[in-house]
Structure 1
Amino acid sequence: MSRANKNNSISTHLLLWVFFSFSLVGCSLRPSKDYYDPNFVCFNEPGWRNQKDFKQYIEKIWFPVRLLYSEDNKSRKSSRVVFVGNSLVHLFLPELIKKEFPNQNVTNRGIGGDMTETLLSRIQDDVLTLSPSVIVMEIGGNDMIQGKCLSLVQRNFQSIIETIHKKNPSIRVIVMAVPPTKVRELNQIVPVYNLFLANFARKTKNVEYVEVWDDLRKPDELFLREEFVRENGDKLHFNEKGYEIWGKKLRPLVP
């Protein structure tokens, strides 16, 4: 399969993921996921709270995209910079990457719906086999959507970094803040998780944290600014202007 056909296949699975995820969003973002609710009980198990939906996601989205990545890795061999993470990375489409990082050897290995646990399980095969010098990572928002226990998410994240640096201690890992959304329950808890990421990066060699909240949120509210909201009413993902913020923040770190 040609590189262009592979990219088209990946884009096709991205569209399938978008359709699938929006079919679930109504039941994924209920007030029960409010970490500040006195009746809230965090989810400390693998997968999603709805295991039937999680199995469907793994079979129809996660595995097929990984198979495409596996085939592409065989022909690509290596990549100096690899982006990895959840849907925000997955939606950083090739034309946007070329716009923000012209003439750079950049590969995207994001999968919509990815959580810290699923990223941990694939970081070796999908990313480290490309022998990157720099890994740009955005992960954790879907864990919050599922109401995962913060201690579990933090341990998973630490394990991801340990796996990377066990492979090669000199790999620079640039960790993007989980950005604001249009969902109140997420915007309440995500800054707590981002604080953990920032503190972790300060204490860990070859890990850098990039904050984006002040650039993306409304000046006086904990919500994504209207100029960054997608036209389709998507409450979770920023639009192309958001990726311009990513580019502006990352270009000095990825020369």
Structure 2
Amino acid sequence: MSIALVLSVTNCNSTSKRDYFDSNFKCFAEPGWRDDANFKKYIEKAWLPTRLLYAKDNSKIKRSDIVFTGDSLVHLFLPNLMAKEFPGKSVTNRGIGGDMSETLLSRIDDDVLRLEPKTVVIEIGGNDFIQGKCLSLVQNNLLSIIKKIHSRNHQIRIFLIAVPPTRVKELNQIVPVYNLFLNQVARTTQNVEYIEVWDIMRKPDAPTLSEEFIRPNGDSLHFNEKGYEIWGKKLRPYLQK
């Protein structure tokens, strides 16, 4: 399953359905996407095939000290980039393009915890907000993910990467609110750390992705290799402990 195919069915919906500051906005509290037909297509064509690949790989490698998981921003942290940023580390990528907090929660046992990691790095939430999911729902899903990980082993270290800025105005409005929540969770939960990247990846004077991180294909949601260098720089001091 190519990452291109995974991403091809995860485009932004119309503005009116994800603008949390619109007076007519109503958040979405149902499973899946507002467009159920496309969500089913995504699950069938992208999410499930990727999970099958992960299951096959998990049975082969058995264990991994560090597992990254989350949405397309994790999925695009390709093996060569991970090897560059974390040399000598046992690091496995279990991101899936289009993943939301609810779908990550449903797969965390099989895709991530089966590898008995000592550290789990999570970046999740952007796709929830693309769908206009209720903020409280996303927050509760994140808390459930943490609870499920620590119910397996409370000594597992969890690193919550801030959802970074994009070039989508509606996401840049709501994501900082969610990141504040992630920071607070880390402050009040044992073995959970918050990794701030929003501040360094945005324009100095505007809440949008800095030009130096923009991908050359006009992609408004994802960032280039320089962004992953930021992730590596931020995470290395923690992963070396």
Using structure 1 for the length normalisation, give the TM-score.
Answer: 0.93
Residue of structure 2 in register with 1:182 after alignment: 167
Distance of 1:113 and 1:213 partners within structure 2: 20
Distance of 1:246 and 1:138 partners within structure 2: 11
Residue of structure 1 in register with 2:86 after alignment: 101
Cα deviation, 1:188-231, whole Å, max 9, x if unaligned, reads 00000000100011000000001111210000000100010000
2:177 is the alignment partner of 1:201: no
Distance of 2:232 and 2:172 partners within structure 1: 23
Selected match of 1:33 from 18, 30, 43: 18
The answer to whether the Cα contact below 8 Å between 1:14 and 1:90 also exists between their aligned partners in 2 is yes
Residue of structure 1 in register with 2:53 after alignment: 68
Shift of 1:29: 4.3
| Equivalence map 1:225-240=2 (5 Å) | 225-240=210-225
Residue of structure 2 in register with 1:18 after alignment: 7
Distance of 2:213 and 2:14 partners within structure 1: 20
Residue of structure 1 in register with 2:106 after alignment: 121
Shift of 1:33: 1.1
Distance of 2:16 and 2:205 partners within structure 1: 23
Report the RMSD for the aligned CA atoms in angstroms: 0.8
Cα deviation, 1:53-109, whole Å, max 9, x if unaligned, reads 000000000000000000000010000000000000000000100110111100000
Cα deviation, 1:156-202, whole Å, max 9, x if unaligned, reads 11000000000000000000000000010000000000001000110
The answer to whether the Cα contact below 8 Å between 2:122 and 2:159 also exists between their aligned partners in 1 is yes
The 3-state SS of whatever aligns with 1:34 is coil
Say if 1:29 and 1:136 are closer, same or farther in 2 by CA, change over 3 A: farther
Residue of structure 2 in register with 1:223 after alignment: 208
Amino acid at match of 1:211: E
The answer to whether the Cα contact below 8 Å between 2:7 and 2:98 also exists between their aligned partners in 1 is no
Distance of 1:107 and 1:247 partners within structure 2: 14
Residue of structure 2 in register with 1:45 after alignment: 30
Gaps of 5+ in 2: none
| Equivalence map 1:80-99=2 (5 Å) | 80-99=65-84
Distance of 1:19 and 1:204 partners within structure 2: 36
Residue of structure 2 in register with 1:171 after alignment: 156
Say if 1:227 and 1:29 are closer, same or farther in 2 by CA, change over 3 A: farther
Shift of 1:30: 1.8
Distance of 2:239 and 2:9 partners within structure 1: 33
Shift of 1:16: 1.1
Percent sequence identity over matched residues? 64
Distance of 1:214 and 1:178 partners within structure 2: 11
Cα deviation, 1:100-140, whole Å, max 9, x if unaligned, reads 01111000000000000000000000000000000000000
The answer to whether the Cα contact below 8 Å between 1:31 and 1:185 also exists between their aligned partners in 2 is no
Give the aligned length.
240
Residue of structure 2 in register with 1:144 after alignment: 129
The answer to whether the Cα contact below 8 Å between 2:113 and 2:149 also exists between their aligned partners in 1 is yes
